[in-house]
Amino acid sequence: MANSNSSADTASTPEASRQAQGQYQNFTPVQRLSFGKTMGILWSALFHKPQNTRPSAPVPVQALTQAALMAAPNHSVYRLGHSTVLLKLRDKFWITDPVFAERASPVQWAGPKRFHQPPISLEELPPIEAVILSHDHYDHLDHQAVLKLADKTKHFLTPLGVGDTLIKWGIDASKVRQLDWWQGTEVDGIQFIATPSQHFSGRGLFDSNSTLWASWVMIDGDTRVFFSGDSGYCDGFKRIGEQYGPFDLTLMETGAYNVDWPHVHMQPEQTLQAHLDLKGRWLLPIHNGTFDLSMHAWYEPFDRILALAWERNVSITTPQMGEAFNLMHPQRGGAWWLAVEGESDREVVQNA
């Protein structure tokens, strides 16, 4: 496995990732599920899935065009689905965890299927300055999307080992920068720092934790954005906030949580606390609204995080997929998911 690209500058914080027997580890040990527990979760997902884990009506999407994106002001932010976020900074485009596949799965005939189409196709996307990847799970690293983006993307920023996967797929090694936790690199005047998260990795049966997972700090002059990737709640958020906060915007995982995997995904209460730990100003909840990856209602993450934010007087934005949010002129957005499931429909589904 290759080390980080030579152009990456090591940050002053010394605590890099750790490995044991070829596997990356979290700072706080994460309890692994037993075989029996794993089989029980799989059985429940296959045969006891609640009806409301998928929308009963179409999810609204605001279509985007390349021309509209090129004309948009800097500091525009667009959710394209799940954890895929397109940012316009310095007249260039940057995208996190681009997943455009119909299913978040190793095969496209089975597995979690999208609730909605992306607001823009891969072909219609403008040139991408950098793809920022958090880890190698199928709902974050889309093989076909990476290949289709290769010719229009200048840089791929990844945690250690994920870049090796891209190179095996045929991505030009000169485009790939692999970073350890607390390492940073600069692209077109914007600083990117790979920061810790509490999660795991693997795309098959025999590659568990062979690549690193990370969150990301993005610094564009006076503007700071945090991208959580996937993470359980941990003290890393406070350390990141102390070193790099406050953040103008946090893109925070809020979805696919479950009491059976508390160490690798956050409940909404923990998402809000992580945002506060980071000294965030505006919170944009992601990792929801696109795929059915747990047992909760598809709209529950929105309901819960919105109520918590209002209770704690936290500025939160919930744009529709494809709707613009501008860092210089922030706005809350609407509770669009309420129109997808009418109140009566939601009560019927919840009580089914």
Domains defined along the chain, listed by start = 67-350 (3.60.15.10)
- What is the C-alpha to C-alpha distance for residues 328 and 343, in angstroms, rounded to an integer? 34
pLDDT digits (tens, 9 = 90+) for 57-83: 999 999 999 999 999 999 999 999 999
Q: In the chain, which ranges are E strands?
A: 9-10, 18-20, 23-25, 76-81, 84-89, 92-96, 128-132, 153-159, 176-179, 183-187, 190-195, 215-220, 223-227, 247-253, 280-286, 315-316, 324-326
Please give the pLDDT value at position 348.
35
pLDDT digits (tens, 9 = 90+) for 137-172: 999 999 999 999 999 999 999 999 999 999 999 999
Please give the pLDDT value at position 15.
77
pTM comes to 0.93
Strand partners, 217: 193, 226
DSSP for 167-236, please give it: HHTT--GGGEEEE-TTEEEEETTEEEEEE-------SSSS-TT-S---EEEEEETTEEEEE--S----TH
pLDDT digits (tens, 9 = 90+) for 197-215: 999 999 998 999 999 999 9
